[in-house]
Amino acid sequence: MNSDNAPPPRGLYGQRPSKSADAARRLQFERLAAMTPRERVLLALSLKERMRYITPARAHEPGTSK
């Protein structure tokens, strides 16, 4: 596929993403690209730990007996 003919990136519902959102996405990508693999793993683990507080674990899975 030729990148010259590629359509412009689209946001939600087809509107063009804002320039500030595009700049933030680019900055985040550059920050991740500059990280070492070890730093990426540590970041992923810290995000996983934060998600534990946002989404509480279920007592048991539906459809299974206790």
- pLDDT single digits (tens) 1-50: 455 676 666 666 777 778 888 889 999 999 999 999 999 999 999 988 88
> What is the structure's pLDDT at 20?
87
Measured distance CA(4)–CA(14) in Å, rounded: 20
59 against 18, higher pLDDT: 18
> What is the structure's pLDDT at 18?
80
Instruction: Specify the 3-state DSSP secondary structure of 21.
Output: helix
CA dihedral 21, 12, 51, 63 (to 10 degrees): -170
| Residues 45-58, mean pLDDT to the nearest whole number | 79
> What is the structure's pLDDT at 48?
87
Measured distance CA(42)–CA(57) in Å, rounded: 22
